[in-house]
Chain A
């Protein structure tokens, strides 16, 4: 799975969960850039991603991502 494709699908999840219509995320995006992205919405995003990509994340992964790029990389690695 391509990074761009995963990023696009994650972007849709962020828009849906955070309720920000025109949100555009990049691999560099962090929680500092989006006020609505906190540990509560993070869990909802995680579950939405798990369902979308049919994978399960570990607690260490969920708590360890520093930016969207790291989330994308985990998804790609799990889909190999």
Chain B
């Protein structure tokens, strides 16, 4: 079991030595817990692949296709200082409504959860902080559950009587999460969050890496505020300077995210951010290296 994630790194090294070198540098400082979590996830994922008559080699090919996209987008970003798409319609046509692209993109993103340093670090922050809320949450909502990695941890950590709901715009994502998590406590809703009608308020809302996918992140945070109980908590993550084929809204720095949080009627209970690459802060600023930001928020009393 201990070798599964290393096998993936080694396979990537054969196909893309430059990329593998960077990945390995970035995770060099990670401890045994990383390998334990990564292996557990990858074994689960491998089972999912097998059920769907696919192999880990297929998933790695998908991941490297996604990396090719990221490379192209990054180069454009260096030239233009903006993301290549600016409207939801554009990315919908290009990615979400394009089954071929969605297929490799989804598998690529899945692998990135443990291959990318900042993806793992923000996940680690979430699972280390969530137990603080374990006795306060009765109604949990996740927006954009993706592969269900965060949701599966919430199911583990929060009280067994907690009701879990998921809102996701993509049937592919919902199917994937259902495959990953076998738990009858989850209500899945296929809907755009802006069209989602609440039956009641939620005392915990988790929304990982969604803000950068919408045209108006303020509107989205205001929607979250309207879905939250008075003493409830929101967990959000979003990256700065992260060119990707489906990213629309560009946060240039952490301050811009923090300002948006305040504008939408929240205050920050706890926050952390992680550089996506193992470089000095000076280099990160010079080369606009992406930072992954994560925060636990509560409604502002003002």
The answer on a CB contact under 8 Å between A38 and B79 is no
Please give me the residue from chain A that is nearest to B67 by CB atom.
A39
Closest to B279 in A: A40
B68-123 contacts to A, CB under 8 A, are 68, 71-72, 74-75, 78-79
Q: A31-B17, A37-B18 are in contact. Are A62 and B279 (CB under 8 A)?
A: no
Q: With A38-B25, A40-B277, A44-B287 in contact, do A32 and B17 touch (Cβ < 8 Å)?
A: yes
**Inter-chain contacts of B287 with A (CB < 8 A):** 44
* A-B contacts, 12 listed (Cβ < 8 Å): A31-B18, A39-B22, A39-B67, A40-B22, A40-B279, A40-B289, A42-B18, A46-B75, A47-B78, A59-B72, A63-B68, A63-B71
Do A39 and B25 contact each other (CB < 8 Å), given the known contacts A44-B287, A59-B68, A59-B72?
no
- The verdict on B16 contacting chain A, using a C-beta distance below 8 Å, is yes
Closest to A19 in B: B283
B44 on the interface (CB 8 Å rule)?
A: no
A58 to B, closest residue via Cβ = B72
Interface residues of A in 12-69 (CB under 8 A from B): 31-32, 37-40, 42-44, 46-47, 59, 62-63
Which B residues have a C-beta under 8 Å from some C-beta of A?
16-19, 21-22, 25, 67-68, 71-72, 74-75, 78-79, 277, 279, 287, 289
In addition to A38-B25, A59-B71, 8 A-B residue pairs with Cβ atoms within 8 Å of each other are A31-B17, A38-B19, A38-B21, A39-B16, A39-B19, A39-B71, A40-B277, A44-B287
B284 CB, nearest partner CB in chain A, Å? 11
Q: Distance in Å from the Cβ of B78 to the closest Cβ of chain A?
A: 5
State A31–B22 Cα separation when bound (angstroms): 11
For A47, the chain B residues whose CB sits under 8 A away are 75, 78-79
Kindly report which residue of chain A lies nearest to residue B69, judged by CB atoms: A59
What are the residues of chain A within 8 A of B19 when measuring CB–CB?
Answer: 38-39
Q: Which residues of A contact B22 (CB under 8 A)?
A: 38-40
Closest CB of chain B to A24's CB: distance in Å?
20
* A43 in contact with B71 (CB, 8 Å): yes
